[in-house]
Structure 1
Amino acid sequence: MGSPLGVLFANFFMGTVEEQVFGDIQRPSTYCRYIDDTFICVKSESELQVLRQTFEEKSGLHFTMEKSTDGALPFLDVLLKVEEDTISTSVYVKSTNAGHCLNGQSECPDRFKETTIAAFVRRALSHCSEWKNVHREIDRVSQMLVDNGYPHHVVSSVVKRTINKCWHRNIY
């Protein structure tokens, strides 16, 4: 995946494998893929094992899988939770994430620093299905940014401006 074309090749390869697999077995009712990460809902453990085995036979690859725990499953950087037939989403951050980002004291234009803050806010707005999760994520990110040398008043200002801009454009 170190090549600029790596993503393109991986996506093409997985699309070819999917064609072969779903030519032999029925496609699950929920099947989503982003490059080489898939999100699948199946009815039984045996259906999952057949799907995994078929993918491995057709591709020559080894597939790892993560099952939901207590109704929660991370996919990419979104945490999906199922509670009483309701699905909620929030930002998922791996436990190994050290919280590094562009340092607030670095010698770069202020617009780069503001864009860094705004990107975290937009991610919270787009990934979280409930306002309480948005607030929790913005609080976490704000502290991370302050820890990375951003002045608190700058973080607060950019957070408010970004939320207002997204709200008025209905981007949330």
Structure 2
Amino acid sequence: MYFFERQIVNQIRNSSGLYFRYIDDIFVTINWPVRHLLKEVDRWNKFDENINLSANIGSSVNFLDLSIEHRDGQLFTTVYQKPSYEPYYLPFNSIHPLHMKKNIPFAMLLRAIRYCSTFQSYLNEREKLRMALLLNKYPNKIIDEQFNNVLSKFGIDEPLTLTNYNRSRQKIIDSSIKEKQLVNYEKSIFVHFTYCSSMKTFPIKFHALWDKYFDKSPINEVIPILGTRNVDNLQRRLIHTKSKI
């Protein structure tokens, strides 16, 4: 695909356009007549018999989970959900660590702020998200807590309003993304344990015991990394086991 698209990218950029691709989804903005663009798409399809591009041309387009619309010289964006979308998230009553569940409302609201270019579209998306989380048994207290954590993480100490939305949103967009720290596998030990409600305090106790017994030992240079796995219960077996016909 890389060699296939080089010609297309150069052609788009030479015409002052934009070209983005994620796997097999391509997004292009360019000031060409529709007829000319369709002609070029047909020509691109002849580059390789194994690749077939289909064009969706207009003033609005859906790219991955983002909806983009061009109105009077301005771009408006919001969250896009496919027709097959259903509001299913990790149920709050599932046997998973609490931090995994808390991360869902946090990440989803952060996406809503980044994607929604107007305050009204943000409000609509936030309420749809709240309803979906409530359907998945998330307590209102957890939802509100994580929604507030999104703002506090970026130093925003006031609720989002029509007046401050654009300014606060831009602050979030401009914030640098924390780089993922690389794991030194030569000095790391991975410990996986089966998570259940009685094991909530296990990570804290494990690290306390590690520091107690290995604090002055050469092994203390090794960093323990704890991970969880789900309980192998009947529900998981029914989901993952295919029936034999």
Q: TM-score, normalised by structure 2?
A: 0.58
How large is the Cα RMSD of the aligned pairs? 2.1
Which residue of structure 1 lines up, in the alignment, with residue 20 of structure 2?
A: 32
Which residue of structure 2 lines up, in the alignment, with residue 117 of structure 1?
A: 105
Which residue of structure 1 lines up, in the alignment, with residue 172 of structure 2?
A: 171
Is the contact made by 2:67 and 2:79 (CA closer than 8 Å) also made in structure 1? yes
Pick aligned residue for 1:58 from 39, 44, 47: 47
Q: TM-score, normalised by structure 1?
A: 0.80
| Distance in 1 (alpha carbons) for counterparts of 2:141 and 2:8 | 54
| Residue 167 (structure 1) shift | 4.5
Which residue of structure 1 lines up, in the alignment, with residue 131 of structure 2?
A: 143
Which residue of structure 1 lines up, in the alignment, with residue 91 of structure 2?
A: 103
Amino acid at match of 2:37: L
Amino acid at match of 1:31: Y
| Residue 163 (structure 1) shift | 2.4
| Distance in 1 (alpha carbons) for counterparts of 2:153 and 2:8 | 45
**Structure 1 residue runs of 4 or more that deviate by more than 6 Å after TM superposition:** none
Cα deviations across residues 32-73 of structure 1 (Å, max 9, x unaligned)? 2223211123422222222212221112211223233xx421
Could you tell me the percent identity over the aligned residues?
A: 22
| Distance in 1 (alpha carbons) for counterparts of 2:98 and 2:66 | 29
Is the contact made by 1:21 and 1:54 (CA closer than 8 Å) also made in structure 2? no
**Alpha-carbon spacing, 1:22–1:79, altered in 2? closer, same or farther (3 Å):** closer
Greater shift, 91-100 or 51-60, is seen at: 51-60
The runs of 5 or more residues in structure 1 that have no matched partner are: 1-12
| Distance in 2 (alpha carbons) for counterparts of 1:22 and 1:151 | 48
Larger radius of gyration: 2
Aligned residues: 155
**Alpha-carbon spacing, 1:138–1:78, altered in 2? closer, same or farther (3 Å):** same
**Alpha-carbon spacing, 1:153–1:21, altered in 2? closer, same or farther (3 Å):** closer
Q: In the alignment, is residue 94 of structure 1 matched against residue 82 of structure 2? A: yes
